[in-house]
Every structure is written in structure tokens, then in C-alpha cells.
Amino acid sequence: MFEARGRLAKIGLQLVVTLMVLPFLFPLVAMVAGSLSGQGWGNYAKVLAVPGFALFFRNSAIIAISTIVIVYVVSLPAAFGFSKLHIRKKEFYFWLILVCITLPEVVLLAPLFVLASQLGLFNTYWAVVIPLAALHVPFAVLLTRNFVDGIPDELFEAARVDGASSMDIFWNMVIPLSRPIAAAVVIFTLLASWNDYLLPLVFLQDPTTETITLIPQYFVGEFNNDQTKVLASAVITAFPEVVAYLLLQRLFERGLSAGALK
Amino acid sequence: MVNGKQELAITRPIGSSSGGARDVRRHPMRPPGLPWVLPALVVTMGVIYYGIGYTGNVSLFNWNGLSDNPPNIGIKNYQGILADPVFWQALEHTIVFFVVVVVVQTALGFIFAVLLHSPIRFAVLYKIIIFVPVVLAPAVMAPVFRQIWAVDGPINRLLGDVGLGALEQPWIAQSSTSLAVIISIQVWEFTGLTFVLYYAAMGQIDSTVLEAARIDGAGNIRIILSIIWPDVRGTTVALAMLTAIGSLKTFDIPYLVTAGGPNYSTEFLGTYIFRISIPQAHVGYGAALSVLLLILALTMAIMLQARGREKEGPAV
């Protein structure tokens, strides 16, 4: 957007961007540098040697995947129904779901707490997966419905004339055609569930079911507040997220911006 | 049961009401859709609406979360909240947080997007650095930030090294700077998202318009202010909405970095509700706070919905 003709202007521009990016780079550098101070790589060895360290990642993966599956399985049919099928008071139902987008999860704390103790769901994945799914279905429905709205009605009517049922249309048209938006739903649900902190904090007290977001606290206890090891555990925890982003850069960026773009 | 509903939906419009009949004529081939949206309705209504109803009910009791017969105290919890200075502080922090974050993030995201659309070397590298924080969990970064802003941490060391030792201070341990630190962490985490949205929006601007403006003699600043900024207005509004909702949800960063303190200086509605409901076990009072937070969030939802109806900009 900027036009920089002269060599000096180009260097100036480069300098400005670099200076602006430095504060964003600083915490990452400080994190890695801090994790290597003291015993150097030994910090990492100590962290990785903690028994059950891999469990945090397994638990986060199980929770994220289950949440994604539920959100996808529930949202896509809803998008199809809202967009292309006949429902009385359709917009009212849609609104009922949409309103929940703004709901802060902390509001559900008391009821979920009581429900989880009555049903014996403490320290089970369900206690985290079900509320997470419920909290993210509304946004997924909004995204997918907007997308399916963009598919021309004529396409569906033609299929109906040829005798296709709603189920046929869903399987053979809606699912394949909505792949781009499904990718967006998967990415934002993945980030939201993988990075969620409050629900695991309250409902997963047993280290064998805890998620990666609870690692820092666990290690503050484990290593008697030895900062270098806590930072090493933060680097290890951040690593898969950064790698996933670097590998799927465009998918991540498009997925997260899908809701706000035409 | 699903079949029963399906039949009902088929037969009803043909039957009586004129509205329904018109519907049928307009969409002669639209089969019933209720079974398709039912799972989504059950999941959201079952968890969220149940939760809201439950919270609303509990907010009328003086309950510790355990006792069997808590006394119903009517709206006493709400009266207590209105007279509770911490509640008003939390609300004030939320508003300050929202205003500063929106302004700083919008400015930074916009400027980054403009700059990285310009002829810059290693643009991809800059993009990655700005966006990586978005994918990192705030909970994972919290100990890093506690370390960075600690009295003997890198920020103070850096200040000392460049001769600004006089500015060294206990950033997160004093009320005058703690909220600013929380805000800076939020900006660090989510400017990448703002940037990516602006970057994409600017990619859709017709380049011939820009060229025409340049031929007419418009300079860089003029083009940015008169063409680019108005053109991405929809994105700006959507981002402000997202930030408003995000501000009401703020929990992880203040809870983990400053624990709402010192002296409630970084208390937000989310951290206050958590503190009251779980560690202090005033579940009734916490529920009443939740209801108030919910009303704020619903107000946002209605504004959002009103905007969605306009259909002129992004629907968030």
C-alpha cells in the first residue's frame, strides 16, 4: 500500500517494520533464553523426564478432537436446515442459538459444577468437552450457515427434481461443497479447545486427566518454582502449536478470519 | 419422534394459516428442516440455557454450593453487588481494558497490514512473528510474562542496560502499573488476529483505485486516510465487536499473571466471579454476578444481531 521509490525510503520502511515487530518477538526470545539459563538443555531433559508429561498432550488432544467432532457433526446439518430447508419460526431458532455466541464460560461455572458432581463427571473429559462444544456450536452454526446461504438454491432444486432426498443432498452436496468453511470451523474450535484454561482448571483435578494449559501450574509445584524449568515446559508446550501453525499457515489465518470476511 | 416432527412440518403449511401457505408457494420444494437443526438446538439449549436458568435461580439464594436448604434471600445478592466496590472496579477495568485494547490493537494491526502490503523484504517472517502469539495459549504464556515483568526480569534489566534504570519498577506487583501490563499482554496475544483481518480486507481493495489516486498526486498518507481506512471500515467495526465480547470474557491472563491483584487492581468480572464462586464458595453471590455479566453480554449480542441484519458489513 505504501509506495517507497527511493532506496532511502525503502530502508526507512524496513526499519519501521522491524522496530514495530521487536516487541512481539521479545517475549518469545525471553522465553527461550530463560528456559536455557542455569542448566541449559538440562532443563528440558528434567521437564521431559517428569513421569506422565506426555499425558497432558494426550488429554488436550482427546478433548480438542472430541470437541471438534461434536461441533462439526452438530453444526453442519444445522446450517443446511437453517439455510435450505423449511422450518417454521426459523429465524427465532437461529437467534436462540446465535445469542449464545457472546456467553462468557465463567457464567456456566456454578451449574456445570453442580451438574458434574451430581453425574460424577469430575476428572472425566466429558466435563470439559460438552460445555466447550456447547459454547462453540453457536459460532460454528453462524459461520456454516452464512457459507451454505451462498450456495445457489437452484443447485439443490435441480437435485430434488432428480429425486434426491435431503439426506442424499446433505451427503453428496453440502458436505463436499462446504469443505472450506469446515476447515475454518475445525481451526477455530481446535484453538479454542486446545487453549482453554478455565474448564480444565475447575473440572480436571487429577494429573492423569489434566490438559496442557495446566502444565505451568503443575510445574511450579513440581520444581519448587524453578523458573528455568517452568519456562522450558512453556517452550515445549508452545512448540506443537507453533509447528502446526507454520505447517498450516494459510488455513489458520483464513480459518480465524473467516467469520469477519465477506 | 423425529419422524413425527417431520410429518408435522410437512402437513402444517398446507393446512390453514395463510402465512404458511405463502411460504409453501414460495419454496415449493423445501422439505422440513427441524430434525436437521435439532441437535444444535439440543446441545446449546441443553447446556447453555439450562445453565443460565440454573444460575438465575441460584442467584436468589445465599448458598455455599453444598448445603441442602439454602435460604432464599430474594434480590439481596443483587443489592449487595450494587454496593460492592470490587464489582464496580471490575467493571471499570473491563471498560478501560476494552477501550485501550481496541485503540492500540486497531492501530497496530492496521499499520502492520499497510506496511506488509508495501514492498518489504522478509514480509513472511514478520507476518509469522506477529501471528504466532495468536495460536499460543494465554495460560501457557502466563508464566513467561510473569517472568518478563518480574522485578529482576528482562524488562527491568533492559531498562537498566539502556540507562533508564530510574524506570525500573515492580510492574505486576503495584496497582499503578498492573492493569497496563495485563493490557499489553492482551495486545501481544491478539494483534496478530487484527492484523490478519486487515491484511485480508486490504487485499480486496481494487488496485486501480489506488493507482488512479496516485496519478492524481495523492501521497502515501492521503491514500491511507482517504481510501484504505474507509474501505476497511467493516473490518474495524467487526473487530471492535469481537474485542468487546472478548473483554467481557477476560479471565486467563489476569487470573494467571496477577491473580486479579494487587489490591483488586486487575480484577475483571470473570476473575471476580471465579474467586467468589469457587475458592470463597459464595455460589449465590457469584451467580448473581454471572447474571449481570450475562446481561452485559446479551446487550452485546443484540447489538451484534442488529448489525448482522444490516448485511452491509461482515457478520463477525
A101 min Cα distance to partner chain B (Å): 7
Q: How confident is the model at residue B198 (pLDDT cuts 50, 70, 90)?
A: very high
What's the number of CA atoms in the CB half-sphere (13 Å) around residue B300? 24
Residue A41 is inside which H or E element, if any? helix A41-48
Whose grid coordinates read 453425574? Answer: A119
- Integer Cα distance of A141 and A133 in angstroms: 12
Tell the burial category of B150 from Cβ atoms under 10 Å away from its Cβ (0-12, 13-18, 19+).
middle
SS3 state of residue B61: strand
Relative orientation angle of helices A126-149 and A109-119, to the nearest 10 degrees? 120
Percent of chain B with pLDDT over 70: 87
Helices marked H in chain B:
2-15, 18-26, 34-44, 50-58, 76-82, 85-116, 123-135, 138-148, 154-161, 175-203, 207-215, 220-223, 229-231, 233-249, 252-253, 269-277, 283-310
- Integer Cα distance of A9 and A2 in angstroms: 10
Q: How confident is the model at residue A224 (pLDDT cuts 50, 70, 90)?
A: confident
For chain A, give the longest Cα–Cα distance.
73
Whose grid coordinates read 464489582? Answer: B87
Is a pLDDT exceeding 80 seen at residue B187?
A: yes
Report chain B's C-alpha Rg in angstroms: 26
Of B44, B188, B196, the CB nearest to A97: B44
A191 min Cα distance to partner chain B (Å): 7
Measuring CA to CA, which residue among A215, A223, A208 is closest to residue A241?
A215
User: If you average pLDDT over residues A215-233, what whole number do you get?
Assistant: 81
Is a pLDDT exceeding 60 seen at residue B309?
A: no
Percent of chain A with pLDDT over 90: 32
Mean pLDDT (chain A, rounded): 87
Q: pLDDT value at position B175? A: 86
- Integer Cα distance of A254 and A187 in angstroms: 9
Measuring CA to CA, which residue among B148, B92, B151, B141 is closest to residue B256?
B141
Mean pLDDT (chain B, rounded): 83
Q: pLDDT value at position A1? A: 67
- Integer Cα distance of B50 and B46 in angstroms: 6
Q: Which of A54-63, A245-254, B11-20, B230-239 has the lowest mean pLDDT?
A: B11-20
Of B41, B45, B47, the CB nearest to A131: B47
Q: pLDDT value at position B27? A: 53
- Integer Cα distance of B58 and B70 in angstroms: 9
Is a pLDDT exceeding 60 seen at residue B141?
A: yes
Helices marked H in A53-197:
53-84, 90-98, 109-119, 126-149, 153-161, 166-169, 175-177, 179-194
Measuring CA to CA, which residue among A79, A167, A171 is closest to residue B2?
A167
Determine, for residues A87 and B32 on separate chains, whether the beta-carbon distance falls below 8 Å. Answer: yes
Q: pLDDT value at position A259? A: 58
Q: pLDDT value at position A25? A: 95
Is a pLDDT exceeding 50 seen at residue B14?
A: no
Whose grid coordinates read 482453554? Answer: A196
Q: pLDDT value at position B310? A: 55
* Residue B32 touches chain A, beta carbons under 8 Å: yes
Give B-chain residues touching A114 at CB under 8 angstroms.
Answer: 54, 65
Give the model confidence (pLDDT) of A19-63 as tens digits: 999 999 999 999 999 888 888 888 888 888 888 888 999 999 999
Is a pLDDT exceeding 80 seen at residue B16?
A: no
- Integer Cα distance of A258 and A243 in angstroms: 21
Tell how many helices (H) and how many strands (E) occur in chain A.
14, 0
Q: How confident is the model at residue B5 (pLDDT cuts 50, 70, 90)?
A: very low
Q: What is the DSSP letter of B256?
A: I
Is a pLDDT exceeding 70 seen at residue A121?
A: yes
Q: pLDDT value at position B268? A: 93
Q: pLDDT value at position B170? A: 86
Determine, for residues B274 and A109 on separate chains, whether the beta-carbon distance falls below 8 Å. Answer: yes
Q: Cis omega (within 30 of 0) on the bond before B32?
A: no
Q: Is the dihedral of CA B109, B114, B117, B119 positive or negative?
A: negative
Q: Find residues 95-134 of chain B whose CB sits inside 8 Å of chain A.
A: 108, 111-112, 114-121, 126, 128-134
Determine, for residues A2 and B220 on separate chains, whether the beta-carbon distance falls below 8 Å. Answer: yes
Give the model confidence (pLDDT) of A164-176 as tens digits: 889 999 999 999 9
Contact by Cβ (8 Å): A70, B42: no
- Residues pairing with B72 in the sheet: B61
Q: pLDDT value at position A222? A: 76
Q: pLDDT value at position B74? A: 81
Between the ranges A66-75, A113-122, A151-160, B198-207, where is the mean pLDDT highest?
Answer: A66-75
Q: pLDDT value at position B1? A: 33
Q: What is the pTM of this model?
A: 0.86
User: If you average pLDDT over residues A214-229, what whole number do you get?
Assistant: 80
User: Count of CB atoms within 10 A of residue B8's CB?
Assistant: 12
Determine, for residues A103 and B297 on separate chains, whether the beta-carbon distance falls below 8 Å. Answer: yes
User: If you average pLDDT over residues B125-142, what whole number do you get?
Assistant: 91
Contact by Cβ (8 Å): B138, B182: no
Give the model confidence (pLDDT) of B35-76 as tens digits: 899 999 999 988 899 999 999 888 888 888 777 788 888 888
- Measured CA distances, A60 to A53, A56, A74, B61, B168 (Å): 12, 6, 21, 36, 39
ipTM of the complex: 0.88
Phi, psi (rounded to 5 degrees) for B72: -80, 120
- Integer Cα distance of B273 and B157 in angstroms: 36
Give the model confidence (pLDDT) of B243-261 as tens digits: 888 888 889 999 988 888 7
Give the model confidence (pLDDT) of B167-176 as tens digits: 888 898 888 8
Give the model confidence (pLDDT) of A149-161 as tens digits: 988 988 988 998 8
Tell the burial category of B13 from Cβ atoms under 10 Å away from its Cβ (0-12, 13-18, 19+).
buried
Residues 6+ apart with CB under 8 A from B310: none
Determine, for residues B12 and A256 on separate chains, whether the beta-carbon distance falls below 8 Å. Answer: no
Determine, for residues A106 and B235 on separate chains, whether the beta-carbon distance falls below 8 Å. Answer: no
List b or e across B191-207, with b for residues whose CB sees 16 or more CB atoms inside 10 angstroms.
bbbbbbbbbbbbeeeee
